[in-house]
Structure formats: C-alpha cells, structure tokens
Amino acid sequence: MIAPSILSADFARLAEEAAAVGGADWLHVDVMDGHFVPNLTIGLPVVEALLRATDIPVDCHLMIDDPDRWAPGYADAGAHNVTVHVEAARDPVKIAKDLRAAGAKAGLSVKPGTPLEPYLELLDHYDTLLVMSVEPGFGGQEFIPEVLDKVRTAKRHELDVLVEIDGGINAETIVQAAEAGVDCFVAGSAVYGADDPARAVERLRALAAARKTGES
C-alpha cells in the first residue's frame, strides 16, 4: 500500500493534489499543532474539506498534544485511519475504542527513539502501527534504518496490525522497508516531487511488491 503525504503537496491546491494521486491506497495527512512537534500544519477544518474533495481513504497522522480530546473528531469527520502518538496519549486504550466506535481504524505511532516493546500489548487494541523513520515534524528528512528493527519486532510477535512507515521513503528505502515487513508506505517528496505523481505511486508500489515477493 502507498500513502502519499500531502505534507509535500501544494497546500493551495489540495483537491488537485489529491486527484493527482488517484491510484493511491491512502492519502496521508499530517496534523501538527506546533506543540507536540515544532511545526504547525493543518487541522480538522482542512481535513473535513479534503474529505469532501477526494474518494481516497484519508489517513490522519495526529502529531498533537492531547489526542485523547481531539482524535475522535477526525474519525467523526470520516477519516479512514486516525493515528495518535503513544508519547502523547494519556489513555491509548480508550482512544482506540473511541476511534473505532466512530467508524475509523485506530493507529498508534512511535517516534524513532521510542522503543516498541513496552507497548506491544497495547497494539491488541489497534488496527495499525505507524513506525516513524524520521523525527516527526518536518518532511524531507533522511531515513533512519535502525527503526526497521521495530517492524521486525511487530512481525515476529505476529501482531494483528497493519504496519505503516513514515519518513524518508523513496525508491531506495522502500526496498529496505518492504524487506523488513512493512505493509503501508508513506511517501511525500518521492511522490509530489515527481513530474508525474501517479506514476511515482505505481513505481513505488511495484518496488515494494517485488521485494515482498522475493523478485529482483
């Protein structure tokens, strides 16, 4: 699965940018509040507008303080998957229940420096695990390969979650991530920095699929 990140898109043309990746599996939307991460992007009103403008399932990644309070609103709005950070959540089990009750998949994310092992049991309540392969807050950062150990840990424990990775994904790093067992790849500049974003999505999907099936 490929989830283009609109963090690398033109914010003045979001509906057109979403249409440009019509073959994508999910559309990844980074919500940042300037507190949990040192950057400010968009919030619920823009997400609601984007949901009206695209049929692609919207994957909301909430890099915000107090997700216990704010996350359910994104599910209520119609987001397909809503991911919160374990570092910010007060009651991650309740958040997962609230998101699912509102009709969304529940996602849990960990920063590069956050170990996964203490939270393995929490993942029984979640549908997706988002492994950050850069420090959250800004696009265009370099991929941190060491985080792939978390992917391998999740797969080794046979957790019933879709494993997603976010940060520095391109034609080279997607191969490493696919080999580790990643199911869904968030790609920003590798898609929206290309001349043909839709073709870039298909190329990334083909590279990941080939590696997962053992093809060269």
Question: How far is CA 183 from each of CA 9, 159, 190, 206, 212, rounded to the nearest angstrom?
Answer: 23, 13, 18, 13, 9
Return the closest-CA partner of residue 47 out of 37, 65, 60. 60
CB 139 within 8 A of CB 169: no
Calpha distance 7→150 (Å, rounded): 24
**Per the structure block, which two tokens stand in for 110?**
């960990």
Residue 134: Cβ within 10 Å count: 20
Calpha distance 61→39 (Å, rounded): 14
Calpha distance 201→27 (Å, rounded): 11
Catalytic residue positions, numbered: 30, 166
CB 130 within 8 A of CB 153: no
